[in-house]
Structure 1
C-alpha cells in the first residue's frame, strides 16, 4: 500500500483547485491520504468514480465499526442526519413534495422581495461593502424561516445556533449550537401540531405516521443544509463571476444566462478546508480506480476535484457561463442527490439576477489573493467578500 499523502491540500487562492489536488488527480483517481486528525483515508478525485460512489450502497455515512475513529465533520453530520441516514428512502420521500416546482414558485416572490430589500440597503451604503454580510448571511435564514414556518423574530437565534453547530474548531460551541437548535425545534413542532399553518413544518407534521423525532431530525437537517450551504454558495457564485469580468459582462449582455451561470459557479464551488471530501465508510470490500477498498475504510469523495476533472469538463479551471454542466456533481448524484437543490438554485438565481440588473458595474474591492476561506465551520465559504461599484 502506498504511503498516505497528508491533507489538507492547500489551494493557491480560494477560487482555484488546490495544486496538490490537481497533481494527485493527474496521477490517478483514488489515493491513500491522511487527514489532519491522523486518520488514513481513500481520497477519490476522478469524476466517474465519485459519481459512481455517490450512489453506491457499498458506502455508508456511518462507520460499521463503532470503535473506529471518526472525524469531527462526520460526527456532526451524523448528529444532524439522524434517521435520514438510517431510513433514507422514507425520509427522502417525506421531503421531496416540499421542494416540488409549485412550492418553489410560491416561495420565489418572497425571495425576490427580500433580496430587493437587502440590495436597497446595500445601495444606500458607501462602497466598498461586504456582500457576504450585506446579502449572503441574511437572505438564506429569512427564506428558511419563511418556508419552514419559523417566526421571523426568531431568525437571529436560528442563525446563531446553526453557525455554532457547524463550528469545527470548538466542540463545546458546536454541542451548544446543536442543543439550542434541537430544543427550539422541539417547541416549534409541538406548536405546529396544535396550530398548523401553511408552511413546510406544518405539512411534514401532518404526514400520517410521522413521529416527532423524525420531524425534529428533518427540520434541523433542512435548516442546517439550507442555511450554511447557501450562505457559502452565494459568495462562491458572485466572487467567481467578478473575478472573471468577461463572464460578468456576458450576463449583462444576456441576463437569460443567469441560471447557467449559477450551475457553472456551483461546479466550481470552493473547497471544504477540513476533510477534502464527503465522508463515507466502506461496508464491504470492493475495487475501484485500481485499488481495493476494505470494509471499514474511511473514504472521501471529493466533488470539487471531480468537477474539475478534464475527462468530464473541457478546460475545467475556466469559468464559462455557457458551459454544458449536465455532468456536474455539485448537488450529488442518484438517490443521494441534494433534495434541497431547487431551493438553493432559486435563491442563487434571484440574487444573481438582481445584482446584474441593479449593480452592472459591480466589481471586487480586493484582489483574489486577499480573499480568505472560513476554517471555523464545516461548510467553509468566504470570510468576507468586499465589493464596489
Structure 2
C-alpha cells in the first residue's frame, strides 16, 4: 500500500478544521487519499474545485460497478454508492420536483412566524428551569424535531423512538447496524403513509402519498428527510452557541443588534463543520480538473467544511465574523443541482434561534469548560451529547 494520507484527519477541537486539509489543498489541490477502511479517494477541499464538481453531471452518487466501489465508511447513508447509474439523474430530478413545493421560499416565509413562536415556547420553558440546564435537550434537539415533524406529518410524541433510530442510522462503524436502522425507519414511515392515505393532512407525507404509488420509495425518502431535517440543524444550533461564546466580541454585536442574526447564521453555517466524513461521489466518465484526471469509477470525496475555510476565497478564513460580506456563498448546503432543498428551512430555524436566545438570556454561558463537553461518538456527525449552560 502506498503511503497516502489517511482521512478523516483527527481534531481535538470541534470548532476547528484540522490544518492537514489546508496543507494538502495548498500542496496538491485535489489530493489522493486513503480512508480508514483502506480505500482510495480523491479529496476535494478547495472552494472552486468543490463548486465545479457539485455542478458536474459526470459525477454521481451511483457507481458504474457498485460492487467495486471504494467506500468512505460503514455508513448506510454516506458510506458508499447509492442508486443506479442508469436512472440516478432522472430519479433525482423527479424527487426534487416533488419535494420543492414543500420547501419553497414562499412556504418557508409563511413558516417563519410559527417557528419563532416555537422558539419562544422553548425559551419560556428553559427560563423556568433551575440552572445548570442542558441546552441541547431543551432547545437544540426538540426545536428542529418539532418543526420537521409538523412539516412532514410525523407524530412529535414518537421523537424518542426515531431519535434513537437516527442515532443508529448515523453509525459509521457498523454497516449492518446502520442499514438495519435505515430499513427500520423506512418501515415506520411506511406505516405512517398508510395512515395518510386514509386520513390525509396538510403535510409533506400526505402530499407525497397523493403523488406517488410506490410506498417503499416514499418511505425511504421520507425517512432520509426526517433524519437530515433534524440531525444537522440540531448540531448547528449547538455549534453556533459555542462559536458565539468563544467569540465574545461577535456575541456582543449580536446582543446589541439582533438584526445581525441572518449574517451570524451564515457565518455559523460556514464555520461549523459537523462532520469530517465528507460526501462520496463517483466518476461516471473521466473528468479533467485541477490538473488531475479522475478516471471513470474512481471515488471523490467532497468536503464542504474544508472548502468553506479556503483562504483564496475567504480572507482570514478561521476568524468568526458575523458581518463578513456574503460575496461567495458557503457550500454547507451544497451547490447547483445538489443544493439542499431544506436550506431555507434550516435558515428559518437558525435565525429564529439566534435572534432570540441571547436577547432572552444575555448572560448565558457554559456550565463546564468547552473541553469537557461530552461528544456523541462513532457517528457521521461530530456533535455533543449535552450542552450544560447557566445564566
The alignment's TM-score, normalised by the length of structure 1, stands at 0.92
Q: Do the aligned partners of 2:144 and 2:230 also contact (CA within 8 Å) in 1? A: yes
Alpha-carbon distance, 1:179 to partner: 2.8
Alpha-carbon distance, 1:19 to partner: 1.8
Does residue 263 (structure 1) correspond to residue 253 (structure 2)? The answer is: no
Q: Do the aligned partners of 2:75 and 2:172 also contact (CA within 8 Å) in 1? A: no
In the alignment, which residue of structure 2 is the partner of 1:27? 27
In the alignment, which residue of structure 2 is the partner of 1:158? 162
Q: Do the aligned partners of 2:62 and 2:81 also contact (CA within 8 Å) in 1? A: no
Moved over 6 A (4+): 78-81
After the TM superposition, which of the residue ranges 187-196 and 8-17 deviates more from structure 2? 8-17
Equivalent in 181, 184, 195 of residue 185 of structure 2? 181
Q: How does 1:147-296 map to 2 (within 5 A)?
A: 147-207=151-211, 210-273=213-276, 275=277, 277-296=278-297
What does the per-residue CA deviation read over 1:102-160, in whole Å, with 9 as the maximum and x for residues that have no partner? 32233334322332222223222233333212211211111111111122222222222
Cα distance in 2 between the residues matched to 1:81 and 1:163: 20
Alpha-carbon distance, 1:98 to partner: 0.4
Q: Do the aligned partners of 1:28 and 1:46 also contact (CA within 8 Å) in 2? A: no
After the TM superposition, which of the residue ranges 54-63 and 99-108 deviates more from structure 2? 99-108
In the alignment, which residue of structure 1 is the partner of 2:304? 303
Q: CA RMSD in A?
A: 2.4
Give structure 2 stretches of 5+ with no counterpart: none
Cα distance in 2 between the residues matched to 1:22 and 1:36: 20
After the TM superposition, which of the residue ranges 255-264 and 26-35 deviates more from structure 2? 26-35
Does residue 48 (structure 1) correspond to residue 51 (structure 2)? The answer is: no
Alpha-carbon distance, 1:367 to partner: 3.4
Q: 1:79 to 1:154 in 2, by over 3 A?
A: farther
In the alignment, which residue of structure 1 is the partner of 2:61? 61
Q: 1:284 to 1:18 in 2, by over 3 A?
A: same
Cα distance in 2 between the residues matched to 1:365 and 1:80: 42
Q: Do the aligned partners of 1:107 and 1:147 also contact (CA within 8 Å) in 2? A: no
Q: What count of residue pairs does the alignment treat as equivalent?
A: 386
Cα distance in 1 between the residues matched to 2:299 and 2:344: 30
Cα distance in 2 between the residues matched to 1:168 and 1:308: 25
Alpha-carbon distance, 1:356 to partner: 2.0
The SS at the match of 2:77 is helix
Cα distance in 2 between the residues matched to 1:101 and 1:292: 38
Q: Do the aligned partners of 2:63 and 2:283 also contact (CA within 8 Å) in 1? A: yes
Q: Do the aligned partners of 1:104 and 1:342 also contact (CA within 8 Å) in 2? A: yes
In the alignment, which residue of structure 1 is the partner of 2:341? 339
What does the per-residue CA deviation read over 1:28-64, in whole Å, with 9 as the maximum and x for residues that have no partner? 3211111111111111111100111111112111222
Q: Do the aligned partners of 1:80 and 1:220 also contact (CA within 8 Å) in 2? A: no
Alpha-carbon distance, 1:180 to partner: 2.4
Cα distance in 2 between the residues matched to 1:155 and 1:383: 16
Equivalent in 132, 136, 142 of residue 136 of structure 2? 132
In the alignment, which residue of structure 1 is the partner of 2:39? 39
The SS at the match of 1:9 is coil
Q: Do the aligned partners of 1:280 and 1:300 also contact (CA within 8 Å) in 2? A: yes
Cα distance in 2 between the residues matched to 1:353 and 1:286: 44
